[in-house]
């Protein structure tokens, strides 16, 4: 079932009876479905790893929450602006 409605209409015109029932059911369910989740932003896993490092530094007394937050913000800005 194509997400693009124009393509779905074209595909729907060439279906056999059984496939058309599935197609119609999918169209019905689309009215009740939520939107697709947006993909994770660029460098999501690297930022998540840095977040975890900063949390660990605070938990083990190696950093203050304020210093860890500042370091994380700087890391995010640097990473996303590469």
Q: CA-to-CA distance for 56 and 65, rounded, in angstroms?
A: 10
Buried b (16+ CB within 10 A) or exposed e, 65-77: eeebeeebeebbe
Length of the chain equals 82
The percentage of the chain sitting over the pLDDT mark of 70, rounded to a whole number, equals 99
pLDDT band at 1 (very low <50, low <70, confident <90, very high): low
CB within 8 Å of 1: residues ≥ 6 apart: 8, 11, 23, 26
Average confidence score pLDDT of the chain: 89
pLDDT in tens, 39-60: 887 899 999 999 999 999 999 9
The two three-digit tokens of residue 78, written as one number: 């640097």
pLDDT in tens, 4-36: 878 878 888 888 888 888 888 988 888 888 777
The two three-digit tokens of residue 61, written as one number: 């007394």
């Amino acid at each position: 079932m194509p997400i693009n409605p124009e393509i779905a209409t074209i595909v729907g015109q060439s279906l056999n009876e059984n496939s058309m029932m599935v197609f119609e059911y999918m169209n019905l369910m689309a009215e009740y479905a939520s939107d697709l989740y947006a993909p994770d932003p660029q460098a999501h896993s690297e930022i998540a790893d840095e977040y975890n490092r900063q949390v660990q530094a605070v938990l083990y007394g190696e950093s203050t929450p304020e210093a860890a937050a500042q370091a994380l913000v700087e890391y995010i800005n640097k990473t996303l602006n590469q």
